[in-house]
Amino acid sequence: MWMRHVDFENVKDMLHLVSLNDGLLKPRDFDNLGINEKILIKKSANKPLARSTRYNYRKVMEHLGLIEMNDGKYRISREKKVEKLLEITEFRQKMPDEGKEIIREIIVDNDDCRRHFFDIFMNNTSYDLVDLRENGMPIFIETTAMRKSYLNSEIVKNFKQGKHETHIYAIKLRNSNGRVLELLSADEIYAVYWGVRRWSAKLNITDEIMIDFSEGRLVYPINPNFNEKEIYAVISRQMCSAKGDNEWIVIHVPYFIKSIINETRFSLDSIKKFLLNLKNKHPSLIMFIPTSTIFIDLKTPYNRQDQLFRSSYLYDERKRYISHIRINRKLSEMLCDELPRS
């Protein structure tokens, strides 16, 4: 399986280099040119990327149909999307969103990416990027860390040496319809979990959040049509249904964000910005209750998951993680009055 982690800014720059040397570059020339032009290098150490990583760049670009091998040399694909991508992007210049959109379309249209990742978000196998955004369902990913601490160094070493039992190390992708996709081998895990899943997140095709370690990583196709009224409706329903006569209602931030995601599939960033703006708009009716990173990190068995857990909390201008929001019923009444009557 060829899907491996790559930086698509580097992919774009390598595409321009191939275009300038169309039909002239052998794989070794591709690597050397990328190194000489400071593209296929570790930016922090200013050293060439490993040979296997450079190989991954070539294979990703080949399988996505960006470049083709002809008589042992690379040439640019004649596909219109690739021509358009070259037209609207520049070498060494940050890729505009229009360019990223072309990359998103190419990835979602790729048969391997669909079969091994995107299909599980959909009820049918006939879809494009627009359909995925409009109709894709959230899924949960259960990693091996939930059973055997997958990221333990000895396990990773065994994985690389091919010494593993697939039922212990499997990663499972599960949708709400009960369909399960299992990644049983190291190759599948590197290609899907560390490859196309990360592409999708980096390119904002999907977003991710983790609330409960036992539940798994929630991954969902992002609905780009952000609408404040839809979030108001979620807030209003939750607040209007709250029992008791207390003047203030307390809402747990991570589970509240999860409920908004399940109903709207808006990006995590846009949801959090909305809630922070709501607090600024109604400072006398909304109070933030902070928590500590120590408390948040207790939820995870290993450090590398910390940031994903922390991402489910708000982070305010005072540099605090917010675990709960206290909302006055006056705001609840205001929002309830704005809801359409059935």
Residue 330 banded pLDDT, cuts 50, 70, 90? confident
DSSP state of 205: S
Residue 63 banded pLDDT, cuts 50, 70, 90? very high
Average the pLDDT over 278-297 and give the result: 89
* pLDDT on residue 156: 47
Bridge partners, residue 42, by sequence: 47
Average the pLDDT over 140-165 and give the result: 57
Level-2 CATH architecture, domain 8-96: Orthogonal Bundle (1.10)
CA angle 56, 96, 120 (to 5 degrees): 55
Q: pLDDT for 269-284, tens place per residue?
A: 999 999 999 999 999 9
CA 176 centroid distance within chain: 19
Q: Which of 153-162, 242-251, 288-297 comes out lowest in average pLDDT? A: 153-162
* pLDDT on residue 216: 83
pLDDT at residue 105 is higher than 90? yes
Residue 304 banded pLDDT, cuts 50, 70, 90? low
What type of residue sits at position 57?
Y
H or E segment and range at residue 29: helix 27-36
Q: pLDDT for 87-97, tens place per residue?
A: 999 999 999 99
Buried b or exposed e, range 148-180, using 16+ CB within 10 angstroms: eebeeeebeeebeeeebeeeebbbbbbbeeeee
Count CB neighbours of 90 within 10 A: 14
Provide the token pair at 183.
Answer: 């990644």
Q: pLDDT for 204-248, tens place per residue?
A: 999 999 887 777 889 999 999 999 989 988 888 887 777 777 888
pLDDT at residue 303 is higher than 70? no
Cβ contact 323:289 at 8 Å: yes
> At 302, is the secondary structure helix, strand, or coil?
coil
Q: Cα(27)–Cα(281) distance, rounded to whole angstroms?
A: 57
* pLDDT on residue 15: 98
Q: How large a percentage of the chain has pLDDT more than 90?
A: 70
Provide the token pair at 153.
Answer: 């160094």
What is the reported pTM?
A: 0.88
Q: pLDDT for 19-42, tens place per residue?
A: 999 999 999 999 999 999 999 999
* pLDDT on residue 201: 97
Sequence spans of domains, the chain: 8-96, 113-221, 228-338
Q: Cα(292)–Cα(296) distance, rounded to whole angstroms?
A: 7
Q: Cα(184)–Cα(337) distance, rounded to whole angstroms?
A: 52
Average pLDDT of the residues of the chain = 88
261/170: higher pLDDT: 261
* pLDDT on residue 243: 72
Residue 150 banded pLDDT, cuts 50, 70, 90? very low
Q: Cα(290)–Cα(165) distance, rounded to whole angstroms?
A: 43
